[in-house]
Chain A
Amino acid sequence: MGPVTRKKVFSIMALCAMISLLLLPIIVSIPSPAIGADAPAADAAKKDEAKVEKGRDVYYKTEGIVVGAPAPKTTDGPKDYPRYNFESRVLLWFANQQHLYYGSFVLAVPIFCMIIEFMGVVTKDKALAKKYDQLAYDFIKISLTAYSLTAILGGILIFTFLTLYPAFFGYLSSIFRPVMHIYALMFVAESGTLYIYYYGWDKMKEGFLKWIHLSMSVILNIIGTLLMFLANSWIGFMMSPAGVDEQGRFLGNIWHVIHTALWNPLNVHRILGNMAFGGGVVAAYAAYRFLASKTDEDRAHYDWMGYIAMALGVAFLIPLPFAGYWLMREVYAYRQQMGITLMGGLLAWLFIIQATMIGILFLSTNYYLWQAMGRMRGAEKYQRYIKYLVFILCCGYLVFITPHTMVMTPAELKAMGGQQHPVLGNYGVMSAKNGGINVIITTTVLSFVWYMRGNKVSTLSWAKFGNIFMGVFFFFAYVNIIWLAIYGYYIPANVRVGLSVPQVATTLSCLFFMFALNSVMMKGAKQMGPIEWGKISVRSQYALIMLATAFTWMMGLMGYIRSSVRLFWHVNEIMRDNSPWAYTHTVGFAANMISFNVLFFWVSILFVFWLGSLAAKKVPVSATATAPGGAPQPAGSH
C-alpha cells in the first residue's frame, strides 16, 4: 500500500470514527426500561394497576405515568440555598455568562472554518485558496484554546449550581438525567472530532483528502449544534416546562421535556446569535491586529480578515431580528403575562436598551462598509449619497428605539396630557418597530450592494436597465415596508403579527434578488482600480471593535432578560425560587453586571488571542491586490 493510499484509508477511518462518535450518544439514548415510558408502564400494569399513578402534562395536556418526584418546595436556608457571604445568584450569573460567551464562540468558529475552508476548496485561484485555508486554520487554532476554557468554565458552572443551588439542580438533573448523559457524551464526541480535525489539517491538505477533511468539519458542526440544542432544552424547560405534571413530576416522556414551547425558537435564535457573535469577535481580533500592525503586509492581511469575519457575522445578524421576533411571538402565545413582562412591563426598558444595541450593530456595519469604500477607486460616486442613507437609517433607528413607556417627571407627564405621546407614542408599538428594523436592514443591504460594486462598472448591454430596476426595487421595498407598518394600526393584532411576514419577505427579497442581480451585473465588469487592502481608515477598525462589543453586551443583556422573565420561579409555575434573591434587579445593577461580564470576557479572550499568537504562522498578503485573479477577494463580493 502506497503512502497516499494509506493516508486515504486513515482519513476515511478518521471520518468513520467521527460519525461513530456522532452516533454514539444516539445509540445510548435509545430508551432503556429504566427510563423509558412504555416499558415501566407495561410492567407496572401487569403487576399492580392500582399502584400506577397518572399525571397530566402541564403543556401537552396528555396523560402519563408519574415516574419522577415532585419539584422540591425549597425554603431559605443552608439546605436548599447554601451560600457565601455574597449573592449566590450573581455568582451563578457570572459563571453562566462566561461559559455562554466561550461556548458560543467555540460553536460559531468551527462553522466559520467550515465555510471558509469550503470557499478555499472551491476557489479556482490557488493563491486565494491558500489564503482561505490559512485563515480557516488560524480561526480553528484560536477556537482550540478557547475550547479548553469553555470546558473549564462549564465545570465551574456545574460546581456553582451544585454548591449554591443543590435543590434546584438536583431536581433539574432528575428530569434531564438521560439528556445530561448524552450531553456529556456529545462533549466527548465534539472534543475528539475537533482534535482530529485540527491535527489532521496539514496531513489532509489536498485533493480527495481535503474533501474528507471538509466533511469532518461538517460532522464537527453537527455535533456542536446538537450539543447546543440539548443545553437549550434545559433553559426551555425552565421557561416553559412540559413533560411534567403540575407538581413537577416527570411523566416519562423525555421528548416532551426537551421539546417545550420555546425550544425551537430558542435553538434558531441561538444558532444565528452565536454566528453573529463569533463573527464579531474574530472581526475585533483582526481590527486589533490591524491597529497594532507595523507593516503594510500585516495591515492588508488583517484588513481582509476583518472584512471576511464581519461579512460572515452580518450575514447571520440580518436574519437575527426575525428569529427574535418569532421567539417573542411564541413567548406571548405561551404566556401572555410573560410576553407583557418582557415587552410592555417590568423588563420593557431592557428591551429598549436591546433595540438601541441592535441599532448600534447595524449602524456600525453600515459605517464600516462606507469606510471600506475608501480603499477602492471608483467608489466615490456612491460616497456622495451616503448622507441620505444615514438619514434613512437614523429615521428607522429612532422609531425602533422609541419607548412605549417614556421616562418622565410628573410635570412632563402633565404637560404631555396623558401617558402616551400623540406623535411618538405610535412609534412605541410593534407595528412601527417592525417597520423601523426592516428599513434599517434594507438600508444595510443597499450599503452592501454599493460596496460590492464600488470599484466596478458593469459592461453588460442592459446595465442601465438593471441599475434602474434595482433602484426601483429598493424604492418599492421601502414603500411596502413603511406602508405595512402604517397599515398594521388598522387591523386586528393577530393579523398584524402576520404582517411581519410580507415585511420580512420584502427585506429578504432585497437581500437575495438584489445580491444575485448585482452579482450577475458585475460579472466581467470593468474594474476602476484594485481593492487596496490595508488602506482603510482606522475609524473602520473602531467600528468593528464597536460591533463586537455591542454583540457581547447585547448577548449578556438578552440572556439576563430571558432568565429574569421567570421572575420568582426556578421552573416557571412549577418550582418556586424561595431564595432571598428571587427579585428582579434594578436596570442599573443589571447594566453594571452585564458590563462587568463583557469586560471580563474581553480581557480573558485577549489572553486567548495572545496564546494563539505565540505559535502563529504568518502568511502576509500583498498590500495591493492585483485584479483580477490574484486579488484576495472575498467570495461573493470581490
Chain B
Amino acid sequence: MKGLMTVGAAVGAIGLLLLVGMIFDIVPSNTVRLVEGYMPMQMLFELACFVAGFTGLSYTLNAMGKGIPRFVQGVAFWAFILLYLKFRVYPPIPFSVRAMYGTVSLVAVFMWMSANEEDWKKFKQPIMNVLDAQSGRTRLLRTAYLILLPILIGGFSYNAMKPKSEEPIELRTVHPAPPASTKVHGKTYVLQTSQNPYRVNPEGKYDQEYSNKLIVEQSMGRLMAPNANPWDDKNQGYLKYVREGGEIFFQNCHFCHGDNLNGRGLHAFAFNPIPANFTDPGTIAQLQETFIFWRVSKGGIGLPNEGFPWASVMPPWEQHLTVDEIWKVILFEYWHTGYYPRTWD
C-alpha cells in the first residue's frame, strides 16, 4: 500500500509540476499531446490520474506528519481544476463552459468537504477562526478581508459594467431545425421521407446497409474498405457515384471544407467561424441526409430565423449544381468521413 501511494505521490507531483510549467508558459500545453480521436477520454483519464496522485501525495505527507489542512485541500483542488481547464486543455475552452465546469467543481469540493461531520468541522475551522478573531493573526486577516472583499466585489462590478469594445457573445444555433419540405429545382422534397437516390445496392435499390459496408473505416488512419476504392474504374453503382461526388466536392467544396473534410480548406481561415468540420461527430454524423441536402441546396442565405446571426457564407448550391450532383456530393462526404447518415428505423 505504502509503495502504491508513493508512486501515486510521484505521479501527482510530476503532474503538478507540468501544470505549473504550463501556467507560467515554460512548458507548452501540448508537451503531453492530446491525441486526436482519444481527446475526450484522455482528459477524463488525466483528471483521474491527478486525483489518484493527490491521494498518494496526501497519504505520503500525512505519513510524514505534514498533512495538508482540509481547508487548504479543498481550495487548492478547486484552484487546480480551474487552472487545468485554462492552461492544460487546448485549444482554449470558451469562458462560458469553463464557468460551468468551475461551478460544478466548486459544488463537488463542497460535497467532498462536508460529506461527514468531522471533515466539515475541519474545513470550517479556519473560517470560524478568522471570524472569531481570537489571535492577532486572525484579527489582522479579518480586517484585511473586511477591506479587501468590498474592493474585490466593487472591482468585479466595475469590470462587468464597463463598456467593452469586444464583440458580444453569440448564442448561435449551429444546426437549425429544417423545414418539413424543401423545393429544389422545382421539385418538393419531404425531408422526413426523402432518400438519397444514389445510395443503392448492385440491384439499384436504396440500401444503406450495403453502402455502410463500403465506407472508409473509422480508425486512427482512415482506411478504405477492401475492394471498395471508388477511384477504381471497375467499380460501378454506389462506388461510382461516390467517385463522381468526390469530383464535384474537389471542384467546388474543398476550398473551404478542406481536402480532409475537416473544415480547414484554403479559404477556411478567412471566415469566422470556419466552415463545418464533417469529421466531427457533432456535424453530419448527427443528421439525416435530407438535412444536408436542404442545407447544401439553400446555403447560408437560406438559413431560417433561428440560425441567427446566420454566420455562414455557403452559397445556395442549387444555383450551381443539379439535384443529382448535390446528392452525389453528400454521398461522398459520408463515404469519406466514415459516418453513416442518421436514420430512424
Contact = CB atoms under 8 A, between A and B. Distances in A.
Nearest to A395: B44
B176 A407 contact: no
Contacts of A587: 171
Interface stretch (A82-90, A275-283, A408-416): A408-416
Interface string A331-375: 011011110110011101100000010010001001100110110
A192 interface: no
A219 B333 CA distance: 58
Given A340-B176, A395-B44, A406-B94, A417 B274 contact: yes
Chain A CB within 10 A, most for which of B51, B94, B180, B277: B94
A342 to B, nearest CB: 9
B115 A383 contact: yes
Interface in A446-478: none
A287 interface: no
Interface stretch (B8-16, B143-151, B161-169, B313-321): B161-169
A405 interface: yes
A616 interface: no
Contact of A344 (B51, B95, B286): B286
B170 A425 contact: no
Interface in A375-431: 380, 383, 386-388, 390-391, 393-395, 397-399, 401-429, 431
Interface in B113-159: 114-117, 120
A573 interface: yes
B113 to A, nearest CB: 9
Nearest to A346: B306
A432 interface: yes
Interface stretch (B102-110, B229-237, B248-256, B323-331): B102-110
Contacts of A406: 94, 96-97
Contacts of B97: 402-403, 406-407, 421, 424
Nearest to A489: B281
Dominant secondary structure at the A interface: helix
Interface in B37-60: 39-44, 47-48, 51
Interface residues of B, number: 74
B115 A422 contact: no
B212 interface: yes
A374 B116 contact: yes
A321 B343 CA distance: 22
A494 interface: yes
B95 A423 contact: no
Interface in B64-117: 89, 91-97, 100-101, 104-105, 107-108, 111-112, 114-117
Nearest to B37: A489
B345 interface: yes
B272 A390 contact: no
Contacts of B111: 363, 366-367, 370, 390
Nearest to B50: A391
Dominant secondary structure at the B interface: loop
B291 interface: yes
A498 to B, nearest CB: 11
Interface string B12-37: 00000000000000000000001010
A419 B283 CA distance: 10
A537 interface: yes
B344 A408 contact: no
A493 interface: yes
B51 A391 contact: yes
A539 interface: yes
A340 B178 contact: yes
A38 B108 CA distance: 63
Interface in A185-200: none
Contacts of B117: 374, 537
B288 interface: yes
A69 interface: no
Contact of A401 (B100, B105, B179, B285): B100
B92 A412 contact: yes
A492 interface: yes
A423 B276 contact: no
Interface in B272-316: 272-274, 276-277, 280-283, 285-286, 288, 290-291, 306
A259 to B, nearest CB: 20
Contacts of B282: 404, 420, 425-426, 428-429
Contacts of B341: 492-493
A344 B174 contact: yes
A572 to B, nearest CB: 10
B246 interface: no
Contacts of B322: none
Chain B CB within 10 A, most for which of A370, A395, A411, A423: A423
A486 interface: yes
Nearest to A537: B117
A394 B105 contact: yes
Contact of A410 (B36, B44, B167, B191): B167
B179 A383 contact: no
Contacts of B108: 390-391, 393-394
Given A420-B277, A429-B282, A391 B340 contact: no
A427 B40 contact: yes
Given A346-B176, A346-B177, A493-B342, A426 B39 contact: yes
Chain A CB within 10 A, most for which of B94, B177, B288: B177
Interface of A: 332-333, 335-338, 340-341, 344-346, 348-349, 356, 359, 363, 366-367, 370-371, 373-374, 380, 383, 386-388, 390-391, 393-395, 397-399, 401-429, 431-432, 486, 489-494, 537, 539, 573, 587
22 contacts: A337-B179, A337-B180, A340-B176, A345-B177, A349-B171, A370-B116, A374-B117, A393-B108, A394-B104, A403-B97, A407-B169, A408-B170, A409-B166, A416-B91, A418-B277, A418-B280, A419-B277, A422-B34, A423-B40, A423-B43, A491-B340, A494-B340
Given A344-B173, A345-B177, A494-B345, 16 more contacts: A340-B291, A344-B286, A390-B115, A404-B174, A406-B94, A407-B96, A408-B96, A409-B94, A410-B170, A415-B91, A418-B280, A423-B42, A427-B40, A431-B281, A489-B218, A493-B285
